[in-house]
Structure 1
Amino acid sequence: MKRFEDKVVVVTGAASGIGKEIAHAFAAQGARVAIADLKKDAAEAAAAEIVALGGVAMGLEMDVSDEAAVNAGVDAAHAVYGRIDILVSNAGIQIVHPVHEFPFDQWKKMLAVHLDGAFLTTKACLKYMYAANAGSVVYIGSVHSKEASPLKAAYVTAKHGLLGLARVVAKEGAKHNVRANVVCPGFVRTPLVEKQIPEQAKELGISEAEVVRNVMLRETVDCEFTSMEDVAEAVMYFAGANSNALTGQSLIVSHGWFME
């Protein structure tokens, strides 16, 4: 029997990058996966890839900052699969500016996607998890859930906030046998990070190679990016726990960038 046989997993922001890797990892272990993404076509294409490999998946159009869209998407997944066992809150964007120049509308957009999105998807899934008396919520945080970098005020604030949300969900969910945890990757070379490299080079007045070597990976032990596979394995570690011993915890996957 596979590790997540017949479990139902909702993964947000899963049409590409880390979310897509997580969705594939769960599907390979027998889970039925709902791929939620802002772009319907991309979500359905990602689901089709899993189906072509022999897995079970569906695509959902979902703006995680829109309560009605979140509720509709989660309800649709439940209607098809009959249960919601695991939520992986992964959807995110990146906008960089110095604090004194950070446009307020972009600050609000960042927090809406990262924090409002985590809250809304959690709330939508918890009603089904509580009814089943079982469930796991895994938030994709960041090393920036633990420390800070220049130009990323909104991102750092949001990722710190996920720790607080996870701990409250862990406390409240315990009586319903629902766990909540945070996986905190270092820099993963996703399209989002690729986009940041030239942006930070321009903001800091240095080369793109220097951004990678001296900004992004400076504090790692081996100057290596974290792999998407490493992140997916950490998510499955939390999601597959057999008791509440690990609830309310965070796990850093960063090549030693941050240690605690």
Structure 2
Amino acid sequence: MRMTDKTALITGAAGGIGRAVAERYAREGARVAIADLDLAAAEGTAAAIREAGGEALALAMDVTDETAVNAGVEAVVARWGRLDVALANAGIQHIEPLHTLSFADWRKVTAVHLDGAFLVTSAALRQMYQQPEGGCLLYMGSVHSKLASPLKAPYVAAKHALLGLCRTVAKEGAAHRVRSNVICPGFVRTPLVDRQIPEQAQALGISEEAVVRDVMLKDTVDQEFTTLDDIAEVALHLAAFPTAALTGQSIVASHGWYMQ
């Protein structure tokens, strides 16, 4: 197993991509902390992992709250003695054109994606720098870390900014054996994406079928959604990679939507 004796913290892990990655890490031998705003849902995910033979801890965490993030990392270290992998995955979306977007809605989205990633990074690095083996910081970016789409300005801006944060961690963390990378999925059929389909249909004045066909999957090579398993596989590869040959990078998994 590729993550035996490793300890991982994943934010936004009660469902969707975060849960898929947590379950994959646990199957590969990792002890996994399931951090989420919804503690009951996090407990459900942790319980499912334990029932499958893994080891998991549920944490209530608002990633925009510095005290909550710091307490979550401290709880992981108190439970398992270390933190090897931290994945900043928590995210939200808001669909609206820029000229009507309020500052409050801008800040709500960027706070979760970017401020939350910073807070997780800061707390994780303080622990990882104390460990001779260092650690691994991962960020859930997006194809929107590379390009833009209409109606998603705060999301696009925050996902672009994660590239800069990751690269800075790669530079600063190298002396402490800390690696960092960004995972950039295409559209994955999670509740976050499912909610966007009717929202975009209304905003663009087209059918929901047209949103899927002509917006979300138009530029893929096979008109297929990226899957939870696809992203869990990438997250496993990055977490388990043995050296700093792979750091400061962004790995796109999008069925060819974006090629680099």
The normalised TM-score by structure 2 is 0.99
Structure 1 gap segments, 5+ residues each: none
Secondary structure at the residue paired with 1:15? coil
Shift of 1:103: 1.1
Structure 2 gap segments, 5+ residues each: none
Secondary structure at the residue paired with 1:131? coil
1:67 is aligned to 2:52: no
Q: 1:82 corresponds to which residue?
A: 81
Q: 1:17 corresponds to which residue?
A: 16
1:235 is aligned to 2:230: no
- Aligned AA for 1:18? I
- Aligned AA for 1:200? Q
> Which aligned pairs between 1:20-99 and structure 2 lie closer than 5 A?
20-99=19-98
Q: 2:105 corresponds to which residue?
A: 106
Q: 2:118 corresponds to which residue?
A: 119
Q: 2:204 corresponds to which residue?
A: 204
Q: 1:218 corresponds to which residue?
A: 218
- Across the two proteins, how many residue pairs are aligned to each other? 259
Q: Distance in 1 between matches of 2:5 and 2:208?
A: 44
Q: 1:4 corresponds to which residue?
A: 3
Shift of 1:94: 0.4
**1:99-140 CA distances to partner (integer Å, 9 max, x unpaired)?**
101111010011100000000001111111110031001101
- Aligned AA for 2:66? E
Q: Which runs of 4+ in 1 moved over 2 A?
A: none
Q: 1:177 corresponds to which residue?
A: 177
1:159 is aligned to 2:159: yes
Q: Name the % identity.
A: 59
Shift of 1:164: 0.2
**1:152-192 CA distances to partner (integer Å, 9 max, x unpaired)?**
00000000000000000000000000000001000000000
Q: Distance in 2 between matches of 1:21 and 1:243?
A: 24
- Aligned AA for 1:152? K
Measured on the aligned residues, the alpha-carbon RMSD in Å equals: 0.5
- Aligned AA for 2:22? A
Q: Distance in 2 between matches of 1:88 and 1:71?
A: 15
Q: 2:138 corresponds to which residue?
A: 138
Secondary structure at the residue paired with 1:259? coil
The normalised TM-score by structure 1 is 0.99
